[in-house]
Each structure stands twice: as structure tokens, then as C-alpha cells.
Homo-oligomer: A and B are copies of this chain.
Amino acid sequence: MANLTSLSEILLSRRQKLAELIDFPVVLWSGSTTSRNFPANLFPFRANSHFLYFAGIPQENAVIRLEGSNLQLFMDDPHPSSTLWHGETPSREEIAAKIGADDARPMSELKDFLADAATIAVQDAPTWTQQSQLLDRWILPRQLPQGIDLDLAKAIVSLRIIHDESALMELRKSSAVSIEAHKAGMSATKKAAVEAEIRAAMEAVIMGHNMTTAYASIVTIHGEILHNIHYHHSLQPGDLLLADVGAETESGWAADITRTWPVSGTFSSTQRDIYDIVLAAHDTCIENIAPGMEYRDIHLIAAMVIAEGLVDLGILRGKPEDLVKMDLHALFFPHGIGHLLGLDVHDMEDLGDLAGYEEGRTRSDRFGLGSLRLNRSLQPGMLVTIEPGFYQVPTILNNPKTRNQYQYLVNWERLEQFADVRGIRIEDDVLVTEEGCEVLTATLPTQAEEIESLVS
């Protein structure tokens, strides 16, 4: 994060922008590690994203306090005996120097600097318990912030939603590695017998770059199970493999890419027909991304292109615009067109819809819109995913009520001819620019022929 500008300068600039929005001190905790099956066996540490934004480094059990442009660091130096097990680790003073802290103190002094301070809950229980105790109010990760904490959350959203140059440098790194991972997955397909082997080839690229996955990878021949994180299915030549895999840099910046490819290396004609509809939706959405555009309208563009395509294929009957109004597209595309991307793969989703939904807007109760995670007017510097899909979800399509309600609008017999298309998704990471947009993940092909040529 510190190539063009030093880390301390980047962080100072972020603090100064925050200080223009609020007039109270801010205290952010990094969080602590979580035990897996016994206390010493830990899940990998992930620092809280708001802490990372203002501290830049994933330091465990640390707290920063921001007031105006002033930065204080609170952390304890490691116990001398820990050097036997963990080696020499940077001291508080060294970390303070690295991040440009004006002051550095042991954790025991934090309690003296909390008056009138706002904070945001971290995810791990020991830390949010500590937050609650020290601030003498409930700071809970699954409850929306209130009072000055809400004011702080809104201010941070307005900063983090527009990526600065140093954030973009990191985001480009995670994109590049994720692209390489997807290519490795395609290359590993013909030799692989089970999904797990393709997942391994993809995650090995990420791990080899000393990055981690930004979320639980989806690598499956059952793409119709939207959050399928099992990898045990064996691969058959007629299957499509859906891989939704993204890397995260050491300082926490995420990528999020999905590609769908044929296990045999060649799409069947039915798979190709549907693939091209999803790709058309993907391309049309991206063509329309520009400052001032409503993201909800981008979603509806995808819905329209999918409806048109399915009408052309004889799967849906009627006028596409009418079908979209009736949410017929959502039978096959039941999720939103995408979400914000940044330090979190669903950026700032720890704050509920505070980042995703413009003030005054709330989730729709329409089946075709309720899952939309982002409903804002797009602005330069926003990074969003564009991820249309087509899925044959049994619980949706085999529901007798659905079958009855849409007996005429869906040509169910025609649909049966597309039984080898269980799930297709194509997802890229798109930066809104002054001119329109830039696809950060554009060097990973999306065209069917190019995808086929990469499967080996």
C-alpha cells in the first residue's frame, strides 16, 4: 500500500478526510484471534476492516484513536518469552513509526482516552465485550450502531465507498492474483476428478502469493446452490463448473470473480445458449455503468437482457418488460446484480445496509429486487461487482405453486431441454470512473470460446 506514497501519508490523508465529517474522537479496535478446537489452535487472524482502513496493517490486539489528524496507537509489546515461539516481532514504537502515530501507549492506558469517543463493533466476542465494557454501552456486531457510533459509521461509509489511489493499488493486486487463480482452475480441470482438486489449484495460486481467500470459495458443478461451499462432487464431462473465488491482500483488500466453464472444455449447445445470455447481461450492465447511474437500474438491465434471451430461446413467453415487472427473470436469476467491494467482499456489510443503501432507501419486498445488496447512485471511485447468473434452483422451479402460477409464462417443456444448465454466473469487479467505468478483472476472458481454450 506504500509504493507511491508512504503508509503514514495515506493514513493521515484518510484521517483528515474523516475529520471534515465528524467532530468527536474515534477509537477502533483491530480484534483478536479466534480459537478453533482448542485455545492454542487458532483461525488465521483477520483485523477489523475499519481498523485496517485507518491503521493500514493487520496488527492483533491493537487499538487506534483518531482525533482530527492526530493518531494514537494502543498495544502491548509482546511478552519477552513469546520470542522463543514467535520470533522477534515489531515493538509498539516500531509500529507507531510505521503508521505515523503521534503517540503510542500500552493497552492499560486506553481507558483514559475514551471520553466521548465513537467506535464500531468488531466481530470477535472477546473484543466486542471489551469495547462494551470500556465504553460502558453495548457495542454489538450484529446490531446497527446508534448515536455517535452511527454518525461515525456514516462518515466512514462515505469515505470507504469511494476508493483512494492507495486502496486501488491494493485492489488491483488482489484482482491480478484472482485472475491467475481462475486461469489455474481452468487449466487444472481436465486432470481433476473432483471439485476439490480445482479449488486446490485455484487457492494454491492465492496462497503462493502469500494472500488469503477473501471469502469461502465456491467451486462446484452445482452452481444452482448459490452458496455451495462443499467440494466433494465428482466431475462428469457434461458438467459446468462454477468457480467464485477471490483473493485478499495482506492488508485486507478483496477481489471477487466468478467464471463458469465446461468440464469437458466444450459447452453443449444448450449450455452455450444460456451462457451467451448471461454474458450479454454482464456486458450490457458494464456498458451502462457510469457516474450518476442507479445501480438498481443496472440490476434491472440484467433482468431485461436475461428475460429477452429466455424469450428468444422459447423458455419464457411474453414481452420482456412485462416479464421483468412480474419478476419472471428472478425464477432463474434470484439474486442481485452485485455489491460493493473493498476491504470486505461485501464491503461494509458489518454495518447492515448502511453502505449498500442510500439514506432513505430500504430493501424492496419484490422477489426480484429484495436480494439487491446495493441501491445507490454510482459515483467515481466506487467499486462494484457485476455478476448476472442463470440457475435452475429446484426449490424455486419445482415448487407446485410456481409451476401453477407461471404455467403459461414459462414453457416448462422447453426448459427441460436445458437440463444440463444447472448454474452459470459471470462476475467481474468494476470501478466507476469519471468517464464511465474500468473493469479491474478484464484480463480474465469471458467469451465462451476463450474460456473453452483455457480449459485443459
**Separation of A227 and B83 alpha carbons in the complex (Å):** 10
Closest to A217 in B: B207
Does chain B have a CB within 8 A of A111? no
**Separation of A376 and B37 alpha carbons in the complex (Å):** 23
A353 to nearest B CB, angstroms? 12
Q: Are A87 and B222 in contact (CB under 8 A)?
A: yes
Does chain B have a CB within 8 A of A297? no
Q: Are A349 and B39 in contact (CB under 8 A)?
A: yes
Q: Are A43 and B34 in contact (CB under 8 A)?
A: yes
Residues of B within 8 A of A124 (CB): 34-35, 125
**Separation of A319 and B222 alpha carbons in the complex (Å):** 66
Chain multiplicity (copies): 2
**Separation of A196 and B204 alpha carbons in the complex (Å):** 9
Does chain B have a CB within 8 A of A345? yes
Q: Are A37 and B46 in contact (CB under 8 A)?
A: yes
A231-266 interface with B by 8 A CB criterion: 231-232, 252
Does chain B have a CB within 8 A of A203? yes
A160 to nearest B CB, angstroms? 13
Q: Are A200 and B196 in contact (CB under 8 A)?
A: no
Does chain B have a CB within 8 A of A216? yes
Interface mask (A181-214 → B, CB under 8 Å = 1, otherwise 0) = 0000000000000101101110111111110000
Closest to A80 in B: B395
Q: Are A126 and B123 in contact (CB under 8 A)?
A: no
Q: Are B37 and A85 in contact (CB under 8 A)?
A: no
Residues of B within 8 A of A252 (CB): 37
Interface mask (A277-301 → B, CB under 8 Å = 1, otherwise 0) = 0000000000000000000000000
Contact of A38 among B88, B334, B344 (CB under 8 A): B344
25 example contacts (A-B, Cβ-Cβ < 8 A) are as follows A35-B123, A37-B48, A37-B49, A37-B123, A37-B252, A38-B49, A38-B123, A38-B344, A38-B346, A38-B349, A39-B123, A40-B349, A41-B215, A41-B216, A41-B344, A41-B349, A83-B394, A84-B226, A84-B334, A84-B395, A85-B225, A87-B224, A197-B208, A200-B204, A200-B207
Known: A36-B123, A85-B227, A200-B205. 20 other contacts (CB 8 A): A34-B123, A35-B124, A35-B141, A36-B43, A38-B123, A38-B349, A39-B350, A40-B349, A41-B216, A80-B395, A83-B394, A84-B226, A84-B393, A84-B396, A125-B125, A196-B209, A197-B208, A199-B207, A200-B207, A203-B203
Query: What are the nearest 10 A-B pairs in CB distance?
Result: A125-B125, A87-B225, A200-B208, A204-B204, A200-B207, A38-B350, A196-B210, A200-B204, A35-B123, A38-B349
Interface residues, chain A, with chain B CB atoms under 8 Å away: 34-44, 46, 48-49, 80, 83-88, 123-126, 141-142, 194, 196-197, 199-201, 203-210, 215-216, 222, 224-228, 231-232, 252, 334, 343-346, 348-350, 393-396
